[in-house]
Structure 1
Amino acid sequence: MELDTVQKKLVLSKQLGINLLKGKTSSGKTTAAVHRAIYLKNQYCLYEDDKILIVSDSNKDIQTAQIMYNKISSESETEYSTLFSKREDNLSFYSIKEIVYKYFNLNRKKNKYNIISDTEKINIISKCLHDVKKNYKNIKFLHEKYTRFFIDEISWIKCCNYTTLEEYQNAERTGRKVKKGEGPSRIFKNSNTREAIFNLMLLYNEILEKSKSIDCEDIDIIALEQVKTSNDKFTHIIIDEFQNFTKVQFEIIKLLLYRKAYFSMTLVDNKDISLNRNAWFIKGKKLNRIGVDGKIKTYNLKNTYKSDLELKTNIKSETENYEDRYSIETFEYHDIRHNRKFNFIRDINDICDVIVKEEDKEYEYEKDELRELAVYNDIAAGEPILINSDIENKFYMPKYWLKGINDCFILKVKGESMIGANIFDGDYVVIRKQYSAQNKDIVAVEIDGSATLKRLSISKEGINLMPENSRFSPIPVTDDGTNIIGIAIGIIKGK
């Protein structure tokens, strides 16, 4: 696609610092941003530590930008190159989720957290409401029927990283739309209402802290604190779909900026779309609040390009079949009860984003159609090992796979004693929690504080836990110190 005058001004601009690129859908924003990245790579990456980051709000958008870069770079590389151009690729593409989870997981190595579910969040907020409304009897809407309203408002406060009542009391709360009957249409500054909501959040946070639990907004805040200790830096950063970033997410990106004399940050703003209700730079909010020194140069794209739309459509068809190895996990679920198999994928950064593949069709499940299962590490398919009671992860599975099962969880397998039953080292086994079992069931058993996975064998000679591998010996069962934890009803295999 031939660049128009405004696009060329941005791409070839020698003014560094902060640039804002605005335009509607298919106005050529991403195309211009990719050309700008190639220009910066060749003109303003002077030293070995000079790097460029392109970041977007979603995996699909960043995949689109990366494929677009591959298409454009081979055609335009020589157009922007100089004697000082570096041959090696010093340009990185990440979604904000990938960046957040990278730094969150670095922190998680030192601190174990339990990430609460929506159901747990609702229960905690309901409990906190009961306590808070005792001190604010004149505020009528402090009622459990508005729990979703309070959850959303606390989410916004956390996404803005407001840690004091004064910050929240004076914050411009625009952009929130509340339907009649779902909560107050407006929350005034410096009001008792805001004070009550803030104290509700403090009590909610206190309960989470006591149980070593966090919510999704805490993940971003933890990542922000971790970035402050990192040496990862980029001389040039391009933020695509800038309008969807929260304040905390933008603060993370700011900390990654290497403020050399020739640094630059390009903000790409889609004027048509704002998908994040917790976004910081909503309509009407001034850009001088981004907290970056210097003048902001604005470029407005007013044309619409069919060729750009076609290019993105072609790229979209490629990204639908493109599984980024850092963000997509593929699994096969073996339903032991009904002898069925299902293939499904999930986003590693949003594990409740589940798509099930059946024959030539794909079915994307809403969160209320999924069931959340805790994952524990480890259970031995070999010699018994000590039980680890900490929840290491969570899996979301379609509810109909587990129809009729009231209480179940997942254990990660370690060892090879059950390979004859198609259970291998590293597999996940879905366990129905119960304290009795039938002959030939595959059971999870606690033996003197350790756990193992075996097939139950009941005969005249006695009761044994039988391996499905001739290299391992049966384990005799005695009454003392042996307890059935549950029986295996399914196997999850990574692909």
Structure 2
Amino acid sequence: MKLNVEQRKIVELEPQGHLAVKGVAGSGKTSVAIRRVSFLKEHYCFEPDDRILLVTYNKTLLNFIHYQFNQLSEEETYDSFLSEHKTDVTITTIDKLMYRSFKARMTRLGLQLKTMTNRRQLLKVMNHALYDMKDNYKDVTILSPKFQNFLLDEIHWLKACDIQDLNVYQEIDRIGRATGSKGMPQKLHKNSETREAIFALKEHYDRLMLKEQWVDFPTINLMALREVEEHPPEGYTHIIIDESQDLTKVQLMYITHVQTDKPHQSIMFVADNTQSIYHLSWLGKGRAYTTIGFDMSGRARTLSKNYRTTTEISKAAYGLIEHDEAILSNVDFVKPALIDRHGHAPIYRFFKDHSSHLVFLKQEIESLIGEYQYKDICIVAKESRFLEDIEQYLLSEKNSSPSTQSSKTRF
């Protein structure tokens, strides 16, 4: 894991409070975060209780970080580094970190709560709440089971943003909720009866959950935040947040509450807002760092070169977003700089119907099998229902295909 000059400059910056590292995909942001841990431990952990936290959004990224540590070619390897500093360096996911605080909260309050993660079960509770409230807001058409997914997402968003007051919800901008797709409302208007009804639905939904001693993940995170707000834990001197654009506001606020107040403390946000895909994310929707208490004026560094892909792929990717005003107007947007690495350009194909699309995928896979194995081929779709259609089609066709008949790979 060798660093170039611009990456090393960021790694070796003197910690002076908060810092944002913005970069395009493949620019080495995570590599910088990993090396930053080692640098801070060696040079800026003066006191016996100094600790470092590197927190990631999900397990996949955590596994990648573990892999990267194993690939270190300089003096410290992952195993020796962690064994030497196992008590003062924590590398974990935000969910695992917050779940510990949630457990502490339950113990403190004498609660025995169960976690409900299955969406069908959550929607069942949602429909129960909708039935109970059907006569309360007769003029609010959105309070209907046909909008159950939209309403559940909105309730989760309210909790992920720690919005506990109706007046706050009535005034806040709902970024990304004005698409009007699939029969959804064009916009959740401010100071409206619709917002009032949704907020009341959230309150009743939570009551139904707690009545049966169930909690969802947004509630777990809220309880974890309350725990560290009221009972500050042993904190971290230095914190690095990788893929910070994916975290919710509650998760970001939680992290700020587990930092120790010291003159040499630091917190580094590593992000690429063009890669934000989670509807509950806070910074990824273009919101400023000031909304979580940090003024990044003069405190941002940029990595603009993509070392992972070719010039052709980088240009094609940028071409997909260059006319998106929501992305380009984001103050944290980084325009990619091209490197002298070339390859085949991506291929775009348009299909008049879904059936011809499925046939093409099957034929394309069969043409690749002579040179590649099934495990080397990846199909990506915007929505899971498309993947389910593709899976069913390939399974139905495999008896008539010699290549799929001889394969032990599961579709």
Which secondary structure does the structure 2 equivalent of 1:181 belong to? helix
Q: Could you tell me which amino acid in structure 2 is paired with residue 27 of structure 1?
A: S
- How many pairs are equivalent? 305
> Partner residue of 1:467?
none
Secondary structure of 2:233's aligned partner: coil
Quick one: distance in 2 between partners of 1:274 and 1:208? Answer: 30
Asked if structure 2 preserves the Cα contact closer than 8 Å seen for 1:20 and 1:296, the reply is no
Percent of aligned pairs with the same amino acid: 32
Partner SS for 1:303:
coil
Equivalent residue letter for 2:211: K
Q: How does 1:176-191 map to 2 (within 5 A)?
A: 176=177, 178=179, 180-191=181-192
**What is aligned with 2:289?**
287
SS at match of 1:282: helix
| Distance change >3 Å, CA 293–CA 286, structure 1 → 2 | closer
The separation in 1 between residues aligned to 2:122 and 2:308, in whole angstroms, is 45
**How far off its partner does 1:136 sit?**
2.4
Distance 1:307 1:125, change over 3 A: closer
Q: Which has the higher helix share?
A: 2
Alignment of 1:241-390 (within 5 A): 241-292=243-294, 297-306=299-308
Q: Is the 8 A contact 1:175 1:282 kept in 2?
A: no
User: Partner of 1:391 in structure 2?
Assistant: none
Retained in 2: the 8 A contact 1:17–1:296? no
Q: Which runs of 4+ in 1 moved over 4 A?
A: 293-296
Residue 104 of structure 1 contacts residue 223 of structure 1 at CA under 8 Å; is this kept in 2?
Answer: yes
Q: Partner of 2:237 in structure 1?
A: 235
* Separation (CA, whole Å) in 2 of partners of 1:223 and 1:163: 15
- Offset of residue 135 of structure 1: 3.0
Greater shift, 91-100 or 288-297, is seen at: 288-297
CA distance in 2, matches of 1:77, 1:4: 18
Question: Greater RCO between the two (CA within 8 Å, min separation 6)?
Answer: 2
Gaps of 5+ in 1: 79-86, 309-360, 362-366, 369-495
User: Which residue is equivalent to 1:340?
Assistant: none
Check whether the contact 1:18–1:296 (CA below 8 A) recurs between aligned residues. Answer: no
SS of residue paired to 2:92: strand
Whether 2:60 is the aligned partner of 1:60: answer yes
Q: Give secondary structure in 2 for the equivalent of 1:54.
A: strand
Return the alpha-carbon distance in structure 1 between the equivalents of residues 194 and 89 of structure 2: 47
Match of 2:173 in 1: 172
How far apart are 1:208 and its partner, in Å? 2.1
Q: CA deviation at 1:217?
A: 1.4
* Rg (Cα) greater in structure: 1
Give distance in 2, aligned partners of 1:145 and 1:293: 42
Please tell me whether the aligned partners of residues 240 and 269 of structure 1 are also in contact (alpha carbons under 8 angstroms): yes
1:183 is matched by which residue type in structure 2? M
Q: Residue type of the partner of 2:262?
A: K
Once structures 1 and 2 are overlaid, which stretch shifts more, 95-104 or 172-181? Answer: 172-181
Change (3 A) 1:16 1:70: farther
TM-score by length of 1: 0.57
Distance across 2 between alignment mates of 1:6 and 1:133:
59
CA contact (8 A) 2:53 2:236 kept: yes
Structure 2 counterpart of 1:129, one-letter code: L
Specify the alignment match of 1:75 in structure 2: 74
Gaps of 5+ in 2: 78-83, 311-374, 376-383, 386-411
Out of 92, 113, 121, which is 1:94 matched to?
Answer: 92
Q: Are the equivalent residues in 2 in contact too, given 1:149–1:182 (CA < 8 A)?
A: no
For residues 91 and 182 of structure 1, what CA distance do their matches in structure 2 show? 48
SS at match of 1:187: coil
* Equivalent position amino acid for 1:284 in 2: G
8 Å Cα contact 2:155/2:202 also seen in 1: yes
